[in-house]
């Protein structure tokens, strides 16, 4: 029983759990908004390409 209490009181694993939860949320957002993100990145890359050609 004492080992179980020590395990519950140990806080070193809390940071790992928080990082995993943040990653799960970020992956979920990317999956949900995938098409919008692809469109946004595509538009940004087109804009960069056009402006780079204008500089030449």
What is the rounded CA–CA span in Å between residue 38 and residue 32?
Answer: 12
Report the pLDDT value the prediction gives residue 11, as an integer from 0 to 100.
64
Q: What is the pLDDT of residues 20-34, one digit of tens each?
A: 999 999 999 999 999
Q: Could you give the angle at which helices 34-55 and 14-32 cross, rounded to 10 degrees?
A: 80
Report the pLDDT value the prediction gives residue 34, as an integer from 0 to 100.
95
Report the pLDDT value the prediction gives residue 24, as an integer from 0 to 100.
96
Which residues of the chain carry a pLDDT beneath 70? 1, 7-14
pTM: 0.53
What is the rounded CA–CA span in Å between residue 56 and residue 44?
Answer: 19
């Amino acid at each position: 029983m004492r080992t179980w209490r020590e395990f519950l009181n140990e806080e070193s694993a809390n940071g790992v759990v928080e990082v995993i939860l943040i990653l799960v949320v970020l992956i979920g957002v990317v999956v949900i908004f995938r098409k919008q993100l692809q469109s946004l990145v595509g538009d940004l890359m087109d804009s960069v390409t056009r402006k780079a050609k204008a500089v030449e």
